[in-house]
Each structure stands twice: as structure tokens, then as C-alpha cells.
Amino acid sequence: MFPNYSTEKGVKTMKFGTKLLHNGNEIDPITGAASIPLYQASTFHQTDIDHPGEFDYARSGNPTRKALEQTIAELEGGVAGFACASGMAAISTAFLLFSAGDHLVVSNDLYGGTFRVLTQVLPRLGIEATFVDTTDLTKVEEAIQANTKALYIETPSNPTLKVTDLRGVARIARDHSVITMVDNTFMTPCFQRPLDLGADLVIHSATKFISGHSDVVSGLLVTQDREIATRLSGLQNALGSILGVQDSWLTMRGLKTLKARMDASTASAAKIAEGLKRISGVERVFYTGLAEHPGHALQASQASGHGAVLSFDLGSSERVRRVLSQVHLPIVAVSLGSVESILSYPAKMSHAAMPVEERVARGVTDGLLRLSVGLEDADDLLDDLERSIEGRRLYSVGEWRASIV
Ligand SMILES: *Cc1c(COP(=O)(O)O)cnc(C)c1O
């Protein structure tokens, strides 16, 4: 039996919020501790060398990491989970399921780090990718070649939140006997469960919503295919792309409040998206929760929420700079998915390396800002954004921070 597979009965039928706290991995089996201890050990005493225990060396397995891996497998509805040193470690490990001569069809609206691995690392190993607009299923199917092994999707995409039909992609993949891989970082299993929609492999940067506190870098993989699980287990052990003990614990700690955080931040994001539309100076708002968003209905058909990330276009880099210098509440930073709101400038951050024409063609203009909504009061956030966009802030953020102590 595959070591990560939990046969716990009952867990499957519980609601998500309950499952986060009661999934069979929340209590330490040795001591009964209500928080899985940090098993800060690299090696394990073998009482009987002919019958080694479950754990021998922590690259192959560690009880703290195992609890997280089984938890994410339960939450995504897979047979096995893997915790890796970062989202990119998880993605890179998954890409090494492929070999020289293999080909992948990939969303062209992709996380920059994934784009870098696909264009700078995998070609050296003889693994090629074709980038297509996966919101158009015809284009996905047309890009499939005789040597294609997988379709790789991010939905909603970053930062303009284009929605790809996950059921449709999985159907095409099955017709062509290739696998579907989905980066589910923006939605988390709280809102979107790609395995239930026919995907084979789910990927997370758990650095974002899953951990949720801007204090850990972490990545997760889940599959519902036993053969893929066995191969990933071998790769994780061979490559050593494991998540450390402390970071496994922090990721589990964050995960417990995932639903409460996602629900609250999503409700605020919806309010802020509507509010931004009424502010003069905001030319466009991208949020799948808005009825006018082209992916609105599709998103509602495959996910139970619209998430806490939105973006808006101020029309020029001058206005962006003014807002970034005046805004008080969101931190100005890369990353997303935390308890504090995070405002990012994709043109200078996530998409800085992309040629300008390509970037603008993807809607990542010089005036676009991405907001990851945290747990501050939505009215305060909107008020802060409004004053900053309209240039009504009397104090710089530095002066303001100095004044609140
Ligand atoms: C951040 C991110 C990644 C990379 O994860 P790291 O934890 O930073 O390595 C991958 N995909 C998406 C969608 C992300 O937002």
C-alpha cells in the first residue's frame, strides 16, 4: 500500500471547513498532542534492521511532513500528497515526470517562475513546451502533438484572471491519453478541486493562501493516480525536493484557518472590486466575481468562490507610482494570499522579464496593479485605495506609520 494513502472513512463526506481540522492527521499518534509535533530529526533508530520502521531517513519521510502530505491529499481528494521546499520545487519535481523528447501544452498566462523553468531549464533536457491561450479549448487541442504528455493549466490566471475550462481541458487530455496538471495556488482546495473535475495532478505554491501568513515558502503536489504517486514519491526522494520540518508545521498551522481566511478575504475582494469600479481614475477592474468578467460564469461552474485576488488598471505608470507611494494599508510587495493585503505592480515585479509587447498583449499594462485582499476591514481598504488613487492622501505611508505608534 502506498505510504501516503489514508484510508480514513468518513473524511470524504465531511464539509471542507470540518475536514481542515479533522482529517485524520491532526493528532500526534504517539502522544495525542493536538498539534503535530516538530519531529526535528533527520534519521531514525532501527530496532530491527531486517524490519525497518516506517521512517528511516527524513529525505524519504518525516512524521511532521507526512501529516501535511496526507492532509493536503485529503483536502484535494487525491491518493497521495507531497510537500516540497517551495512552489517551484514542487513544479520542477512534477516536470521531471517527463523525459527527453516529451512535449507539454501550457497556459500562456503563467507564473513567471514556471515560465522560466519551461523555457530555460527543460529545453536543455529535451522537454519542449507550446504556450497557448488555454481559455480557447480549440487552441489547446490543436497544440497537442504525437509526443505531448501533459496539459498544464493555471486558472484563474495571473494577474488578469482569465478562466480556463478545467473539465473541458481534462476531457481533451483523456481523449489524447495525456495528463492534466493544474496549478491551484489562487483558488486552493477551499474553492476549486481540479482532481474532482478530471485533472491528474494538482500543484500549489503553499507560500500563498495555504500557509497564509507571509512567513513560509512551501510547495505541495497531489495526485489521484497511483502510478503518478509512486513516481512522484521516487522523484521527491531522489531529488531531495522536500519541505523542512519547521516549514511543514507552519504550513499545517496556516492550513487550519484556510476556509475562514478565504471566505473573509473573498467577501472583501468582491466589495472592493465593486467599489473600485466607481472610483474615477480606475479604467478597468479584473475580478471573476464581477458579472461582466468574461470568465464569470465558467468560474462559478467549476469553483465555489472567486478568490481574494483582483487587479485594476489605472492607465499609466505615473498613477501607479502615486498610489504605491500613498497607499497605507496593503504592503507593496510580490506574493499574495496572506492575512495582510498585498499590492503588486506586475509590470515591475512578476512580469518584469517579459518583453513589453508580449506583456501588454496579455493585459499586463504599465497601469495595472494586482491586489491580494487580506483580513483588514474591507471599508478601510477601499477608503485607503480611493484616497490614494484620487491623490487625497495627506501623509506618506512612512509618516502615517510613524504616527500610529
Ligand atoms: C508563487 C507562485 C508559484 C511559485 O511558488 P513559490 O512558493 O514562490 O516557489 C507558482 N505558481 C503560482 C500561481 C504562484 O503564485
Domain boundaries, the chain: 3-255, 258-404
Q: Partners of 287 in the beta sheet?
A: none
Answer yes or no: 183 catalytic: yes
Close Cβ partners of 216 (under 8 Å, ≥ 6 residues apart) = 206, 207, 247, 250, 251, 254
Q: Which helix (H) or strand (E) holds 218?
A: none
Q: Which helix (H) or strand (E) holds 10?
A: none
Distance CA(243)–CA(67), nearest Å, equals: 12
What is the largest distance, in Å, between two alpha-carbon atoms of the chain? 73
Cβ 157 under 6 angstroms from ligand 1: no
| HEC readout, 128-175 | EEEEECCCCHHHHHHHCCCCEEEEEEECCCCCCCCCCCHHHHHHHHHH
> What share of the chain in percent tops pLDDT 90?
89
> What share of the chain in percent tops pLDDT 70?
97
C-alpha cell at 137: 479549448
Distance 32 CA to ligand 1 centre (A): 34
Helix-helix angle 245-255:63-76, to 10 degrees: 40
Residue with cell 493549466: 153
Residue type, 245: V
Atom number of ligand 1 nearest to Cα 186: 13
Cβ 111 under 6 angstroms from ligand 1: yes
Atom number of ligand 1 nearest to Cα 207: 7
Distance 1 CA to ligand 1 centre (A): 31
Measured CA to CA in angstroms, residue 182 lies from 56, 124, 206, 231, 391 at distances of 32, 23, 14, 18, 40
Distance CA(344)–CA(335), nearest Å, equals: 8
Contact predicate 68/6, CB 8 Å: no
Cβ 154 under 6 angstroms from ligand 1: yes
Distance 111 CA to ligand 1 centre (A): 7
Cβ 183 under 6 angstroms from ligand 1: yes
What three-state secondary structure class fits 78? coil
pLDDT at residue 25 in the model? 94
pLDDT at 158 over 60: yes
pLDDT at residue 287 in the model? 98
Contact predicate 206/75, CB 8 Å: no
Mean pLDDT across 115-126:
96
Q: Which CATH class is domain 3-255?
A: alpha beta
∠ CA 195-201-207, nearest 5°, is 100
Cβ 20 under 6 angstroms from ligand 1: no
C-alpha cell at 13: 463526506
pLDDT at residue 1 in the model? 37
Distance CA(280)–CA(274), nearest Å, equals: 13
Cβ 370 under 6 angstroms from ligand 1: no
Dihedral class, residue 32 (left if φ above 0, else alpha if ψ from -120 to 50, else beta): left
Residue with cell 464581477: 290
Cβ 217 under 6 angstroms from ligand 1: yes
Contact predicate 290/306, CB 8 Å: no
**Per annotation, catalytic residue among 66, 102, 109, 111:** 111
Substitution candidate for ligand 1 out of 82, 88, 192 with most atoms within 8 A of CB: 88
Distance 344 CA to ligand 1 centre (A): 14
Any idea of the CA torsion for 88, 93, 99, 101, to the nearest 10 degrees? -20
pLDDT at residue 10 in the model? 58
pLDDT at residue 7 in the model? 52
Q: What is the mean pLDDT of the chain?
A: 94
pLDDT at residue 362 in the model? 85
Task: Classify residue 191 as exposed, middle or buried by CB count within 10 Å of its CB (0-12, 13-18, 19+).
Answer: buried
Dihedral class, residue 315 (left if φ above 0, else alpha if ψ from -120 to 50, else beta): left
Confidence of residue 394 (pLDDT cuts 50, 70, 90): confident
Mean pLDDT across 299-305:
98
Cβ 248 under 6 angstroms from ligand 1: no
Distance 87 CA to ligand 1 centre (A): 5
**Per annotation, catalytic residue among 183, 313, 366, 384:** 183
Distance CA(379)–CA(377), nearest Å, equals: 6
- Give the sign of the dihedral formed by CA 269, CA 275, CA 277, CA 280: negative
CB atoms within 10 A of CB 391: 11
Q: Note if the pTM is more than 0.75.
A: yes
Q: Which CATH class is domain 258-404?
A: alpha beta
Task: Classify residue 37 as exposed, middle or buried by CB count within 10 Å of its CB (0-12, 13-18, 19+).
Answer: middle
pLDDT at 9 over 50: no
Cβ 113 under 6 angstroms from ligand 1: yes
CA 366 to chain centre: 25
User: What 8-state DSSP symbol labels residue 57?
Assistant: B
Ligand 1, atom 4, residue with closest C-alpha: 87
Distance 400 CA to ligand 1 centre (A): 32
Cβ 107 under 6 angstroms from ligand 1: no
Mean pLDDT across 37-50:
96
CA 161 to chain centre: 13
pLDDT at residue 11 in the model? 58
Atom number of ligand 1 nearest to Cα 206: 7
**Per annotation, catalytic residue among 149, 162, 193, 208:** 208
Answer yes or no: 59 catalytic: yes
